[in-house]
Structures are given as C-alpha cells and as structure tokens.
Structure 1
Amino acid sequence: MKKDNRAGVVYSTNPDFSYQSADQNAEAATLPHQQQQLRVQLDKKQRGGKQVTLITGFVGTDGNLQALAKLLKTKCGGGGSAKDGEILVQGDFREKILALLVQAGYKAKKIGG
C-alpha cells in the first residue's frame, strides 16, 4: 500500500481539489536585482561572541543564493555560509557588503547600529 505525504490535508469537499505537495512549490523564481529587498546587519547571537554579517531577505533559487554568497565572501576575504534565504559572512563587513550589493543593482539597506 502506497502512502501519500499529505501533511495537514485530511479531507476536502471541493470536487476540483488537487493536492500539490509543498516540495513542488519549494523553490521560488529569483526576483530581479532591483526587486530584492536585502537587509544587512551585524549579528553576534549564539555564535560564541564572534561577529558575522547577516544578509537576509533574498528571494530566489538556492543556486542564485549560493552564487551571491560566493561573490560576497570572495570580495570580503572571509568564510561564511548561505541557506534559507540568508547569507552569513564571517566578520564585520556591513559597509563593504552594502556597497557591493548596491553596485550590483540590489536594493539593500543597513539594519541596526
């Protein structure tokens, strides 16, 4: 017997209902640079006192997120990671990253101090 992974759907009275898995809609199309609303901030929480520059608000595919993260990490000369629409760059590079994002055509602003 085959089981469907229909989490949260018990019964539908709609005769035209067709179930679409969340996995099918997981990756959104990447927005153009001008429509991205990126936020750049310094974060120290739960990182052992280390500072990281956090870029949030990216809407798009994981491949495009990884490409942007690689560009920023290369320009800043530091390590980091990218997942779930967030990019972490080790160190305090807020001003440099903000300038790079604006130069690349993104709408970005600095959040916090």
Structure 2
Amino acid sequence: MDLQDQLKNLFPDHIVSEEENLEETSDLWMQDEPIICKYEKRKGKPQTILEGYTGADEDFKKLAKEIKKLLSVGGSFKDEKIIIQGDYRDKIMAFLKEKGFKVKRVGG
C-alpha cells in the first residue's frame, strides 16, 4: 500500500485535481552557451562561482536554490552570479548536466 492509497483511505471524499497530480518539471530556460563554473578563494575560503546564464534572473535564483539545497551548503546570488560556499565544482557540473545545461569548467 503506497502513500496515495493510504491518503484515499483517510480522505475518501477528497477529489484529486490535475494540479496536485503533476510532478515538478524543470521550467528553467535552457541556453546554447555553457554556464561557466569556476573556483576562487575569497578571504582564504573556497567558493564555487557559476556565471554566464542568459535567461531570467528568477530562473537563475531558482537554480541557485536547488543547488544549495542539493549540496546542503550556503551561498548567494549576486551580480548575475551564483556563489556557493566550498569547492563543489564536480557535483554542481554533474547536476547541471543532468538538468540539460552545458557547463564549462574554468581554472584548476
């Protein structure tokens, strides 16, 4: 018995709408040019920086939130750049490629 069946047993009168049935789909704008993924040390601390996204700022902010949640790290979105605390280039590049983005590694 999966979760859907259990919910139907608990709430037999509830009608499932189509909006509740839809899974999250990636509504981010895909671009032709690669996103630049680079590593820098600022004030002695390692940071991964993503730049070069040409879509809407809101989409880039959503992407930043997904990356921070995936890695369980802090970061920010400033000046059309995503700044992630720590050196996570490989994991971020794998995640972006899985999403369908082209990624270019710069430095090191």
Given the two structures, how large is their TM-score scaled by the length of structure 1?
Answer: 0.66
Q: Which runs of 4+ in 1 moved over 6 A?
A: none
Instruction: Map residues 87-106 of structure 1 onto 2, 5 A cutoff.
Output: 87-106=82-101
**Pairwise CA RMSD:** 1.5
Post-superposition Cα deviations, 1:61-97, rounded to whole Å, max 9, x if no partner, equal: 2211110000111111100011222100000100000
Change (3 A) 1:36 1:67: farther
Unaligned segments of structure 1, at least 5 residues: 1-30
Matched, 1:67 2:33: no
Given the two structures, how large is their TM-score scaled by the length of structure 2?
Answer: 0.69
The answer for the alignment partner of 1:41 in structure 2 is 38
The alignment covers a number of residue pairs equal to 81
The answer for the alignment partner of 1:58 in structure 2 is 53
Matched residue SS, 1:33: coil
Matched residue SS, 1:75: helix
**Contact 2:73/2:85 (<8 A) preserved:** yes
The answer for the alignment partner of 1:109 in structure 2 is 104
Which amino acid in structure 1 is aligned with residue 100 of structure 2?
Answer: G
Change (3 A) 1:74 1:81: same
TM-superposed CA distance for 1:52, in Å, is 0.5
Question: In 1, distance between residues paired with 2:69 and 2:89?
Answer: 15
Unaligned segments of structure 2, at least 5 residues: 1-27
